[in-house]
Amino acid sequence: MSNAGATQSPEAQMRKRCGGYLPIENYGLIGNMRTCALVGMDGSVDFMCWPEFDSPSVFCRLLDKDKGGYFSIHPAAHIECTTKQQYLPSSNILQTRYIHEDGVVDLVDFFPRPRTTKTLFKGLKTSAYREMTSVQEELKKWLVRRVECIRGKFSLEVEIFPAFEYATAPHTTTILQEENVSFATESKTVTFHSEAVKLQLDVSIDRGEEEDENHSSYPTVRFKKVKKPGMLGEGVVARIELLEGQAVSFVLRNDLPNHVTEQITNAVLDTQQHDTQTFWYNWISKCKYKGRWREVVQRSFMILKLMTYEPTGAIIAAPTFSIPEDIGGVRNWDYRFSWVRDASFTIYILLRLGFTEEADAYMEFISDRFCTTRIADGGLPIMFTIRGETDIPERELTHLDGYRGSKPVRVGNGAAFHQQFDIYGELMDAIYLYNKYGKPIHWDLWCSIREMLDYVLTILNDPDMSIWEVRNNKQHFTYSKIMLWVAFDRGLRLSEKRNFPCPNRAKWLAARDSLYEAVMEKSYNKEMKCFVQSYENKTILDSSILIAPLVFFIAPNDPRFVNTMDRIMLPPEKGGLTSTGLVYRYDTEQAEDGKSSILGVGGREGAFSMCTFWLVEAMTRASVYEPKYLVRAINLFENMLSFSNHLMMFSEEISRSGEQLGNTPQAFSHLALISAAFNLDRVSEFKR
């Protein structure tokens, strides 16, 4: 190729500027509803847990550039090219394109999804009628990476350096074929074996349309083993030369003695990709949202689907762990679990926009946990594993350096048994919404609801750690009190709507009323003319109050709420929480959250994506009565969309410099985005 000695690609330069790391927003997500992977714009898989979301990582360069491990397919070092990354239409198949004067190459990454077939129902036959039922074919648990030259010629380098068990377990690398060619009889080429996980790499070569009897122009793959400092096992590297029409595919899967598909050929991969494309197209076609932000809303749904653990229906908060909320800081948490808090938002969005099967599966997961997994005192854990377990011990991986030096790297979550009383309101709201828009709830669930609300009667006057999971002295947080009000309100409504017996109706009603009075009296600062964070912190503004009209605690045009909303929209230097159209949770310099003094967890944080979308929705609801807020809401929403990455993906936070921060993608961010877009469209239609 020409341009020998050319400068590095923009992505390589970006890694160099960021100390060997890509910016958090420079990744795309692929997955199969069992696990997922983050693929950088430079063609590197820098994060993948195997075989499930909460399994130890195999690739984790995102959290340690030297020890973490990666699987990279990128242009040869002497090639300077332009890189583009996008999803194939209506799918979660990721395409990274390398463009150069001499050639263009497409790198396609995906986890296969099986097609659905019909089979005869095997139940008792009572008539001549024959019933068919839909079943999925085998799910191929493969990571597929296909690289194809679509113009000219191109040189690519392949590097595979796994790091098992969070880079703590050594492994043995074995090259089974020194040279893999298009006419090879076996696709299995390399194996990587640790004590717990055994992987194999299959290679399939497509020589294109040109015939060459001497095989001189056929692409070949020659791997050699390389040991890198700090890594506990060898990796493999190869250089491949592709001409137009030629392609090479790499498949990483478990090394099993008897595969259903022993030999991976191009025909097999073509079928798998076609079935995967069809699966995603058919799935997103169920979406009822037809509004002006259709593209971004549909992408949010596709991301949420990737974060669903199909065997149980659980939806994880994020597929990653320990990506920092502040670069170089220590606010680094593991989000690969399912929070009760997400329930009401998830159920509402899935049901209103056509995804009833997902809502049913998620509701079954939540209700099963609710009925069977209770703490000894009658309370409910705030989170579960993807399989519904509650044992989630938190530990630090001290050997990993963290993203750009952001230590410590944590797995597990010490907040699992925090007292966060808001979850009872969110859970009851989810059940109420499911009963309203989905299916009627059953008697056993109602009995569990009664037991839970009777327990909640005993904690009404207790402080907690609330939505932000503070780790110091508990407080009487306004958000928690509002959600406790929601718990009793939805319980009372549900009993009336379904005519369920309610022995403690009078106590529930009294609790609901007393909570409302207390919030209005103790959580409202008359001098500041706004609601505050807690009964104790009477001068601290907190954006979680934006939830109040969304759960019908207060009218969106109530002067107390409007004043609070207007104050939140002010910049921090003027006493507000909004900067550059981005909303912060609270002022961490004024509000002691215990993440400094007790656990040594200090540092600044970015604006919360979820809170910004909450502000959009709150203004949208207020605009029904005050039209000026509609234009502001639309502008704020559009501004927030500009902070997404190139694939319309949002992490947890946005830094002061505009970069994405925190675990990515964040389910709550995308749920709040969809809800804001949905309600903006409804109000805009009403105004017209």
CB of 225 within 8 A of CB of 236?
yes
Q: Are 45 and 89 in contact (CB under 8 A)?
A: no
pLDDT per residue over 386-440, tens digit each?
Answer: 999 999 999 999 999 999 999 999 999 988 878 899 999 999 999 999 999 999 9
CB atoms within 10 A of CB 131: 10
Q: Whose CA is closest to 94, among 51, 55, 45?
A: 45
Supply the angle between the helices 609-622 and 559-568 in degrees, to the nearest 10.
140
Contact between residue 162 and residue 60 where contact means Cβ atoms under 8 Å apart: no
Flag residues of the chain having pLDDT under 70. Answer: 1-11, 118-121, 123-126, 182-183, 209-216, 471-472, 591-604, 686-688
Please tell me what DSSP assigns to residue 218.
S
pLDDT, one tens digit per residue, over 579-603 is 999 999 998 777 655 544 333 344 4
**Which residue is associated with the tokens 């380098």?**
157
Helix runs in 285-355, H state only: 294-306, 343-352
Contact (Cβ atoms closer than 8 angstroms) between residue 425 and residue 456 = no
Verdict on whether the full-model pTM lies above 0.75 = yes
Residue corresponding to tokens 């693929």: 39
All residues at 6 or more sequence positions from 82 whose CB lies less than 8 Å from its CB, including other chains: 10, 98, 99, 100
User: Could you give the CA distance from residue 568 to residue 528 in angstroms, rounded to a whole number?
Assistant: 12
C-alpha–C-alpha distance, residues 645 and 642, integer Å: 8
Tell me the two tokens of residue 449.
Answer: 């609801």
Give the count of alpha carbons within 13 A of 364, CB side only.
12
The alpha carbons of the chain give a radius of gyration, in whole angstroms, of 27
Which residue, chain included where needed, has tokens 């319980």? Answer: 491
- What is the predicted pLDDT for the residue at 317? 97
Q: Which two tokens stand for residue 438?
A: 């989905």
* Confidence (pLDDT) at 599: 38
Distance CA 220, CA 137 (A): 33
Query: What is the distance between the alpha carbons of residues 373 and 292, in angstroms, rounded to a whole number?
Result: 42
Nearest to 116 by CA among 139, 132, 136: 136
- pLDDT on residue 305: 97
HSE value, Cβ hemisphere, 13 Å, CA-based, for 288: 10
Residues 563/606, Cβ–Cβ less than 8 Å: no
Nearest to residue 394, comparing CAs of 375, 416, 379? 416
Question: How far apart are the C-alpha atoms of 508 and 424, rounded to whole Å?
Answer: 13
| Residue 283: half-sphere exposure toward Cβ, Cα within 13 Å | 25
* The pairing of beta strand 143-161 with beta strand 70-75: antiparallel
φ/ψ of residue 82, rounded to 5:
-95, 140
